[in-house]
Structure 1
């Protein structure tokens, strides 16, 4: 538990104190946000520093590794009675997703800035980058095993734990291909979902704090109820649960510190650098904690906002009519006259309800499995 809280506290402090310095750096370089002409209510944000997601990524990496180093030092000096947790492949894979997708988002943000347009990378370029990162993650998560022969991921589709639906039923080779495709759907979908949600000051950041906080608790619970140490009918076959909790809390802490500067009126915007990386990390945690479909509930706000875009596009193409005044959904409420801060706060409440519902399902399943 000390590992988890230490990582979250360090990353929060780094993000809270480091964001103003990064903001001033972006201002000097004139790396500002480009706003679409049809979003007239957001024209005042034009030129506001973007790519703030780099702070979240950097703070997470610092929080994760420094917490491990401090605990190792304290343990070797006799100041810590409990041995510190080791670095794990599972947590490093989540960090790989965070950094890899952050790089894709950075290239997208930089293209927007350098070409002074609202569109960055082409859809093919972005998809190629997302696919490349996902394939590396999926192959390593499935094929690299520990000393007991356990891999970080499973070919079984999971809800709260692995279900009987196993992608490897037709053979290991087919299972690997199907798992890579399934991982690509989850990671691309989650990263784009957070990206679409990031349209109002603090909206995506605040919701991300809640979901990553939930995954900190889920992974820690799975570690304490792991089949290797606590065998029983309700134990979890999850590898590296403690370190997954550490990295999840580090990301939550980084988002929390960044939110101080990103809340309305934001002095910096996370950009695609942050939104793509956060969504990918969420999907990575869902895959490695065997809670893939539970992410739909925990991240219900991201799903709801993404579906508003799908519904809008489908309705217009099929009937020529729009369901919402503008998609994504938060812009619809802006055109109805709602203040930005009102929309953000109420959407945060919805995000909180989704997180509590997801945690309730997770705990209820464990109780009934006793």
Structure 2
């Protein structure tokens, strides 16, 4: 548990004090945000605000994780696990794709970055690599970081390997990449108001710190008598350390990202956080539960899907503008009001998700 606290505290310090240094660097280089022309007109004043702040979030997370394991090594000789390293690989890999997208926008002086094909290829390469490796590295109990089962709170009876190992691998790669793409887009869509996606991410990853710590205490690998209450997760404590580092990084960054934002996370941060969230749901066997814990992100995505689908069918719009937060902006809500209320709803989703998680354990 000391390592979890150290990871969060170190990442918080790095993000809090490192972000202003990064802002000054970006300002000197004139690396500013471009604003979509079809968005709310109030956002035009944000043009030129430094972007690519996700670099700080990723860097702070990595430093927090490293510091935690330096402390753990001298205390108990503990080393990083396959699960933690795979999660960081997914986060950094998608963050790199986002960085290239942000950098393209800046250098070409436009609001469009990488082409859709380039994004798909890049995200696919990272996602497929993660998916294949997540089914490798069995420990002494023959557990791999991920499994081919669809999961809710634990693995369900639906095994994607029902027709053999090869088929299971292919179906798992497709399923996991669907989750990676969905969560990356969800965080990206929510990153439309100052501090909105950062605050929501801190809450969701905070929930996963609690969840993974509980899984670690109730792990089938440490309990003297494994039973239906224990969790078949390979490295829950290591996942908790990563989640805590992300929470610390988000809170430290939020100090500078809240309204009026001095810096935006950009696609660099949105894709990295979305990838990390997808990886956590896969590695903790909570793929469906994750959609409840991060329910506010789901609502943002659904608003966009509904808007596009309904417009194509009827030629009319359900919302004044999608995603959902822009609808409330055009209704006259202040930006800070929208952000805080979305945070409040996020807290409720997190509470419901953790309550379901705990209720399932009690019911066993």
Q: Structure 2 length as normaliser, TM-score?
A: 0.98
Per-residue deviation at 1:149? 1.9
C-alpha deviation, 1:72, in angstroms: 2.2
Q: Distance in 2 between matches of 1:89 and 1:187?
A: 19
Among 107, 112, 125, which residue is 2:105 paired with? 112
Report the equivalent of 2:281.
286
Question: CA–CA distance in 2 between the matches of 1:187 and 1:7?
Answer: 24
Aligned: 1:192 with 2:192: no
Contact (CA 8 Å) 1:3, 1:84: kept in 2 or not? no
Shift of 1:229: 1.6
**1:208 aligned partner:** 201
Q: Is the contact made by 1:7 and 1:246 (CA closer than 8 Å) also made in structure 2? A: yes
Aligned residue for 1:157, secondary structure, equals strand
State the TM-score, normalized to the length of structure 1: 0.96
Give the corresponding residue for 1:78. Answer: none
Deviations 1:7-32 (A, max 9, x none): 00000000000000000000011110
- 1:158 paired to 2:159: no
Aligned counterparts, 1:2-21, within 5 A: 2-21=2-21
Mapped partners of 1:37, 1:184: distance in 2: 31
2:30 match: 30
The answer to whether structure 1 residue 329 and structure 2 residue 330 are counterparts is: no
1:136 is aligned to 129
**Root mean square deviation, CA, Å:** 0.9
1:3-152 map, 5 Å: 3-39=3-39, 40-73=41-74, 75=75, 83=76, 85-152=78-145
| Aligned-partner Cα distance in 1 for 2:85–2:355 | 28
Q: Residues 238 and 290 of structure 1 are in contact (CA less than 8 Å); yes or no, is this contact kept in structure 2?
A: yes
Query: Contact 1:7–1:249 (CA<8 Å) still a contact in 2?
Result: yes
User: Equivalent residues in 2 for 1:255-334 (5 A)?
Assistant: 255-334=250-329
Number of residue-to-residue matches in the alignment: 361
Separation in structure 2 between the aligned mates of residue 51 and residue 154 of structure 1, nearest angstrom: 34
CA distance in 1, matches of 2:77, 2:104: 42
Deviation, structure 1 residue 140: 0.5
Please give the alpha-carbon distance, in whole angstroms, between the structure 2 residues aligned to 1:279 and 1:350: 19
CA distance in 1, matches of 2:125, 2:302: 25
Cα pair 2:73 2:79 within 8 Å, conserved = no
How far did residue 71 of structure 1 move? Answer: 2.9
SS in 2 for 1:229: coil
2: CA distance, partners of 1:236 / 1:71: 23
Give structure 1 regions of 4+ aligned residues with deviation exceeding 6 angstroms: none
Q: Distance in 2 between matches of 1:105 and 1:291?
A: 25
1:202-235 Cα offsets, whole Å, 9 max, x none, are: 0000000011011111111111101122112211
Distance 1:84 1:331 in 2: 50
Q: Does the CA-based 8 Å contact 2:3-2:71 persist in structure 1?
A: no
Shift of 1:143: 2.2
State the Cα distance separating 1:66 from its structure 2 match. Answer: 1.1
Q: Secondary structure at the match of 1:170?
A: coil
C-alpha distance in structure 1 between counterparts of 2:215 and 2:266, whole Å = 33
Q: Which residue of 1 aligns with 2:215?
A: 222
Cα deviations across residues 63-117 of structure 1 (Å, max 9, x unaligned)?
00111112323x2xxxxxxx26421010001100110000000011111111121
> 1:99, 1:349 → 2: CA distance?
29
* Gapped regions of structure 1 (runs ≥ 5): 76-82
1:160-206 alpha-carbon deviations (Å, 9 max, x no partner) = 00000000011000000000000000011001100000000000000
